[in-house]
Every structure is written in C-alpha cells, then in structure tokens.
Structure 1
C-alpha cells in the first residue's frame, strides 16, 4: 500500500516509476468485500516494529503477515502479490490454518521449476504434481506466463482435468 506524501519525513521513500513518486510505504490487511482496512503497518526501515512473538530469524514476509494477522484467528483467505510469496511463508500459514493465494516470482527458491516456467508454446493450465498435498501450483500461459501458487486443505477432493 503506497500513500502519496510530499511533506518532510525521514521515512519518506522515492520511486520514479510510481505515479506518486514520493510516498510512505505501508502494509495493510484489507477486507475484500467492504474495502475496510483491518490492520496497517507503516514501514520505518530497520526501526519497523513487528509482532514480538514472531521469530526474529524469519523472513520479512513472515514478520509482516504475523504482525498484520495478530489476533485474527484461523480459516481466513489471504490474497497477496508476488513480492510476498515465498515457500517459507506458505508453510508458515499452512501451520496456522490460513489459506493463501499468490503469484510466484520466477527467481524465488524452493518452488518447483515446472511451476515457475511452464512449457513454451503451451496454452492452458499446467498443474505440476507436488509432494506436499496441501499446496497446489497452477500455471497459465497465454502470451506471457502467469503463475499462481494456491494452497488448500482439500486438494485431494478436487476433480482436476488433465
């Protein structure tokens, strides 16, 4: 979540590719139905205060999600962009019984190569087999490869066509 800001503040960031070049970086937990912001975490660089119960050695995405989801409970569905999606985050949310859907960056580790790079020239859906029954990766390639990482507890109940 980027909040445009031109005032004086030491944590203001600059990105020449954005419409609002000067901004405050923040992470938000937003209800998809109403659009209400449920929780907001402002980024202060190394001074950002994450959830104290979070493991300090965990990745930044896990720290952000632990802070935003603190006290929310289980069984929720999270949709996030490619910046957050890591295998460690997906495994962390699986342990907390939280559903996650996100796009995979092709340079991320611990994801199958076939899920990140579908066969050239194929059109349609590619469902690579995973050893973990709780995670399903779906790749779709039309003109450009678009990859999704889906997690569900009920993968074995789905009837998937090949």
Structure 2
C-alpha cells in the first residue's frame, strides 16, 4: 500500500501517474485517521507554496524559513502512525535526493521550498546558489507540476475524509471511492479541469521546430507575431473555432485585453480596461452563447509590414472577422469604434446587417443623424 500511496510524490515533478488507478484504490482503503494524516502532510506543501507566492520579501530571506518549517513538519515523530512515518521519510528522500540521510536535513538545502515555488522556475533570482544546487533544483521544478498536483490531491482527499466521516462505518470504501479521483475530468463539475487548464497555460511555451532560424529576423520585420502566426493566425485556430459550431443570427465584434506585463514588443496600454496593460485581441463572438468564433491578435506595427498579415483600420478589422459568414443574413453588432456608414453599406452588399452606435464626428454621418432636435423617438 505504501508504495502506491507515495507514488504521488514522483507525480509532483513528472506528472506521471496522476490518474494511477492503483494509487486511488489504496487511498480509498486508508482508515479515516490515516487519511487525515495524509491530508495534513500534503496540506503543508500547499500552504508553503501559497506563502512563498504571496510574500514580497526577498527570496534569500524567505526560503530558509520555509526550509525550517519543512524540517519541523516532515521530521518523523514518535507519535506518528507507521504509515505516516514512512511517508515522511519518503517525501524527505524524494525532495532532497542525495542530501538526505536517514531522517534529518544536512546543511541549509533550499530544495523543498524552491520545488514548490512557481515564481522562480527560471532561477533568475537564485544567482547566490552554486551551479550544482541550481541544477538539482531545476530538475525538481522544470515541469511546473508540484503545487498543482498537491492542491488537487489535498482537495480530493479532503472530500474523501468528509465522505468517510459521514458514511456508515461498515462501508468506508464505497463512501470514499466516488469523491476521490485524480482524473482530469471529475464528477463534481469542471472545477479541476478548469484549474488544470489555467495553471498549465501559464507555463506553456510555443516552439516551432521546423522554422528556419536564418530567416527569423526577416520574418519578424514583416510580422511581430510570426512565431505563432501559423497556430493562432487564420490557418488553424480560427478555422477550428468555426468548423464545429453554427452561430446564432446575431454575432458581435469586440476587443479583449489579456493582462500581460512580460517582455513583448506589442503590449497595449488601455486606461479604460481593468488590466491596463496586456495583449489586445479583436474577436468575433456569438451574441447568445458568447462562443468566440474568430480572433485577430494585434501585433503592433512591424518594420516592414506585410499587407496580407497586418489588418489595419476599424472597417477592415470587421470585414476580416466576418468574412466566413458572408451572405448568411446575420446581424453584426459593434461599438462606436467600428461603426461607419461605409461599413454598413459594405456589409449590406454581403447580405449582412449591422447595428452599432456611431460617433458624431464621423465624416460620412449625415447632419440629420448628428442632432436630436425635432426627433419623435
């Protein structure tokens, strides 16, 4: 049983065995007290990770505190149950590797804390560590899965404890079996799937192994978005969005600012948005279901822009986004940034109607439409 239970620790760094049926089965067979002990043990790592992420103190001051907490929390105690004592030893050995001897820490190893800290995965702020230590830490945290798996395991195990506590003592296994599951899809909704998706997308890095490195600078001069244009451009991503969904009669053109303050040449500042800084995306969505049908990222102005890739002008953006829905009889809704008389006429020629507010200073707006004097409605 022990080997299956502690299989959760390799999963922290490799994501292997996340849906290990054997481990789940043994966790369901644990007694209620043992289950609570495992929850407490894993819960420490979750709390330590949150403390590290929320703290504004310098890393060199905070990490030793977490290490000391780890020492106190994971030291096997005489009052521990045999299973919990073995689990502590296993976690210590798995965390510290060769630095672990018996049940004590040797030196001031930072591995336990750093393996939990999502913010320092690139080790950019750990220059005070020697190269051997840095390499060892990097092995522990390179997959970015530690805190995610611990939070999932803690949440699921707590559900199992609650179920065991409220169930009849003669059938603890059946009560705990349903809520405790490490599958990506859970029976209690999409909470785990959503959390897993949001966490992993923060650590994705898109790389095209077939791209010609010798032409990289030339491609970037023509298109700042060239690195992932084939993925999120008009070829794959947008086609997939519209291939399997038939929108309603009303579609809407708008823009989204995805919060981002990293290193990027086309970050947009929009003071009226809550995020202020981020990546600007013009999108087309279904008015009823809010399903996104197409998207057009704003990649700034390139040094030598390619006219086929850079869509500029409010009217051109709308026509580009609604192109797959020509002659469909749908209505296109947009705000005053996009609405012009010329755009309405062009969309009408494509059997599309348009509804939107218009700015009074538009040159093509009739004088009768600029004033409300004498209007009945």
TM-score by length of 2: 0.29
**1:22 alignment counterpart:** 277
**2:336 alignment counterpart:** 82
Which structure: larger Rg? 2
Number of corresponding residues: 118
Contact 1:51–1:67 (CA under 8 A) maintained in structure 2: no
With over 3 angstroms needed to count, the CA separation of the structure-2 counterparts of 1:90 and 1:27, relative to structure 1, is same
Alignment of 1:99-138 (within 5 A): 99-119=353-373, 125=377
With over 3 angstroms needed to count, the CA separation of the structure-2 counterparts of 1:100 and 1:50, relative to structure 1, is farther
With over 3 angstroms needed to count, the CA separation of the structure-2 counterparts of 1:83 and 1:38, relative to structure 1, is same
Contact 2:318–2:338 (CA under 8 A) maintained in structure 1: no
Classify the secondary structure of the residue corresponding to 2:337: coil
Could you tell me how far apart the structure 2 residues matched to 1:69 and 1:50 are?
19
Deviation of 1:61 (Å):
2.2
The partner residue of 2:267 within 7, 12, 15 is 12
Could you tell me how far apart the structure 2 residues matched to 1:69 and 1:81 are?
15
**1:3 alignment counterpart:** 258
Structure 2 segments unaligned to the other structure (5+ residues): 1-254
Deviation of 1:64 (Å):
0.7
Deviation of 1:89 (Å):
0.8
**2:153 alignment counterpart:** none
Classify the secondary structure of the residue corresponding to 1:45: coil
**1:61 alignment counterpart:** 314
Q: Which runs of 4+ in 1 moved over 3 A?
A: 46-52
Structure 1 segments unaligned to the other structure (5+ residues): 126-162
Which region of structure 1 is more displaced relative to structure 2, 21-30 or 70-79? 70-79
Could you tell me how far apart the structure 2 residues matched to 1:82 and 1:51 are?
26
Contact 1:51–1:70 (CA under 8 A) maintained in structure 2: no
Deviation of 1:66 (Å):
2.2
Deviation of 1:96 (Å):
0.7
Alignment of 1:12-51 (within 5 A): 12-47=267-302
Deviation of 1:14 (Å):
1.4
Classify the secondary structure of the residue corresponding to 1:79: strand
With over 3 angstroms needed to count, the CA separation of the structure-2 counterparts of 1:105 and 1:49, relative to structure 1, is farther
**1:71 alignment counterpart:** 324
CA RMSD of aligned residues (A): 2.4
Could you tell me how far apart the structure 2 residues matched to 1:33 and 1:50 are?
33
- Higher relative strand content: 1
